[in-house]
Amino acid sequence: MILIKNGYVIDPESGFEDYADIIIEAGIIKKIGCVDEESEALDGENAFDNYEQVIDAKGMIVAPGLIDTHVHFRDPGFTYKEDIETGAKAAAAGGFTTVMCMANTKPVIDNVETLKYVLDKGKTTPINVYSAAAVSKGFKGEELTDFKSLKEAGAYVFTDDGIPLKDELLVKKAMEEAKKLDMPLSFHEENPAFIEQQGINKGVVSDKLGLGGAPALSEYIMVARDCMLALETGATICIQHISSEVSVELVRTAKRLGADVHAEATPQHFSLTEDVVLEKGTLARVNPPIRTEKDRQAIIAALADGTIDIIATDHAPHSREEKDKEFKAAPSGMIGLETSLALGVTKLVKTGRLTMKELLSKMTINPAKLYKMDKGYIKEGTAADIVIYAPDEKWIVGESFASKASNTPFIGQELYGKIKYTICKCGILRLLIKAWILISACAHPAHNQYTKSVRRNED
């Protein structure tokens, strides 16, 4: 058994927010409440000796394990960048117990065989690894995949993320099919007809660098289309990694009109502005690009009023050699799992724009509800997917990560919110300086032996 003592528990789903202790047995939350030593004592023994692990969470927040519904684990096909095992380690290091992989692998996840490969490999990791499936066969935007068989095989959403769907009739058909199956769709919104250079906002910085850029128009023209198609078809859709003020207003309007439209924001889009490209170069190259301060403030305001209901990382690992290329030749994307919560605490909570409960809702129960995952809450009798973190502890983003990759512009930044424990699948996952360890709470003898082994290796 595991005992979490003295923590401040926040559960956005139930609204519970108070100091409480939590007992976990065989991976299930057995009790939430006050656990005092006297009432738990047996035959005069020290009550806490009955637990394999006692975590003193004083000064820490205990919350549902974080959920990221937009990650790229590059497996199969690009495992030199990341694979499902290392992606899961990066997730656990960032407090995530559930992730959803995007379909832009090689081969594309447009068939049951590839989908099952991802899901089966995900089951071998210490976290919950789910997967999206492609909207179109081969990401070509010409023919729909077999939605029904992919849903039955375990897909949670259909998306051609990374590739915009240009055929509006195909998009409408996809929405109609997804609606029949009660499945959501999510969309990468960038019309390439208006883009001179991907990965950088068309504006002052792109002009200074002579790179052309990607204007906000390339995003919001497609956001408008898909919001109105969702209104017409009744489909459930999510606008991925929203980046511009106009796109935010379009989502707000669509919701007001009754469309079942959701939107996600990434930490980079609510934390940075286009100026970061001047300092960090290709590490700040992402699609859609990081835009202006006005756009950033619009995203934060939309997070505050609920227009944007999900925070997702778009965790996109690339090798150092790829990111060291000149801007036009380098791939877009940055890693984000290990800095996401801290950026939310630093940029949104510490600045007074969101409460901690509001931040957590966008990283737990909101994505869980949209994608129909039975996750995102803390409740007696349910799986113990939990993150424990110190909201006031400062730390500096280093150059090494649990991920295979290190392509992030946040290296060197001082942030609030240090992950202390990630609990999932009967285990406690912790990222230490020299060892990433899984302490099993299900196999006691192995637990003790493995813990000793890891401690020796640390020394």
Beta carbons of 299 and 354 less than 8 angstroms apart: no
β-strand 2-11 against 53-56: which pairing, if any?
Answer: parallel
Q: Which run of H or of E encompasses 311?
A: strand 310-311
Instruction: Report the distance separating Cα 453 and Cα 17, nearest Å.
Output: 38
CA angle 265, 270, 275 (to 5 degrees): 130
CA nearest to 25, candidates 53, 55, 58:
53
41, 42, 48, 53 alpha-carbon torsion, rounded to 10°:
-140
Crossing angle of helices 84-93 and 112-122, rounded to 10°: 50
For residue 317, cis peptide bond before it (omega within 30 degrees of 0): no
Q: Edge-to-edge strands of the sheet including 236-239?
A: 185-187, 236-239, 260-265, 310-311
How far does CA 411 lie from the centroid of its chain?
Answer: 19
- Percent helix, strand, coil in the chain (nearest 5)? 35, 25, 40
CA nearest to 409, candidates 318, 331, 334, 324:
334
Please indicate whether residue 161 is annotated as part of the active site: no
CA nearest to 236, candidates 188, 176, 299, 288:
176
Q: Which of 314, 324, 374, 459 is catalytic?
A: 314
Beta carbons of 426 and 27 less than 8 angstroms apart: yes
Instruction: Report the distance separating Cα 302 and Cα 292, nearest Å.
Output: 15
User: 414 phi and psi, to 5 degrees?
Assistant: -95, 125
CA nearest to 410, candidates 344, 359, 334:
334
Instruction: Report the distance separating Cα 414 and Cα 423, nearest Å.
Output: 25
182, 118, 433, 407 alpha-carbon torsion, rounded to 10°:
-80
Instruction: Tell me the one-letter amino acid at 113.
Output: E
Crossing angle of helices 216-233 and 168-180, rounded to 10°: 40
Which residues are known catalytic residues?
314
